Amino acid sequence: MMMEGQRFDLVNESRPLYEIPVDAPETLKRPSLWRKVGVALRELIETLILTLVIFLLIRFAVQNFRIEGSSMEPNFHDGQYLFVNKLIYLFQPPQRGDVIVFVPPNSGSRDFIKRVIGLPGERVEIRSGTVFINGEPLVESYPLYPGSYSTGPIVVPPDEYFVLGDNRNYSSDSHSWGTVPGKRIIGKAWFSYWPPQSIGFIPDYTYASSR
């Protein structure tokens, strides 16, 4: 029943209220073979450049070193491989007890590895194998084969270092050819990576003797 005043609109149910246009799906373009090759080549070049940059950074900071001979026995052995930290002495000077790799003053054919014993300005003397720093005996807490020779006294020049091998009687070092200028030091022995039984960081030592 229709009440007075009411009006109803007739809706044609056969037509949809809204017509949403549907576009035909776009045809996907498949990349060409040359495009695929170009992308792969670019990624390869980027990878090679990144690898080269990382390699150069590592070579700038770290150098590998192979020990030759027995001058550092019993702590380091012939054929042992080490990583050398080349950056550490940019921030601090060598310390007593550091094991360093350097170019020896008497030869440039191969690098040497020795232990820092005397620092710049110190008076170093060896009496029957015992090291004296400024007249006081140096207590060396690491394993070594003591020497039987005497040398000195010598005052270590500025920015130079008195170095010895741990196998004292069988080492070519400062007791025979003098001190090592700081500019010839390549870096500090940091990590042993071969042979497997020697893998590990190179230990640091402290000394009771005053500087």
List, by residue number, the catalytic residues: 71, 114
CB 201 within 8 A of CB 190: yes
Nearest to 75 by CA among 155, 143, 161: 143
The β-bridge relationship of strands 112-118 and 160-164 is antiparallel
Burial environment of residue 52 by CB neighbours within 10 A (0 to 12, 13 to 18, 19 or more): exposed
Residue 90 is classified by DSSP as G
What is the rounded CA–CA span in Å between residue 101 and residue 66?
A: 10
What is the rounded CA–CA span in Å between residue 77 and residue 82?
A: 11
CA distances to 15, 65, 163, 180, 192 from 197, in Å: 87, 17, 27, 31, 10
66 phi-psi bin (left φ>0, alpha ψ -120 to 50, beta other): beta
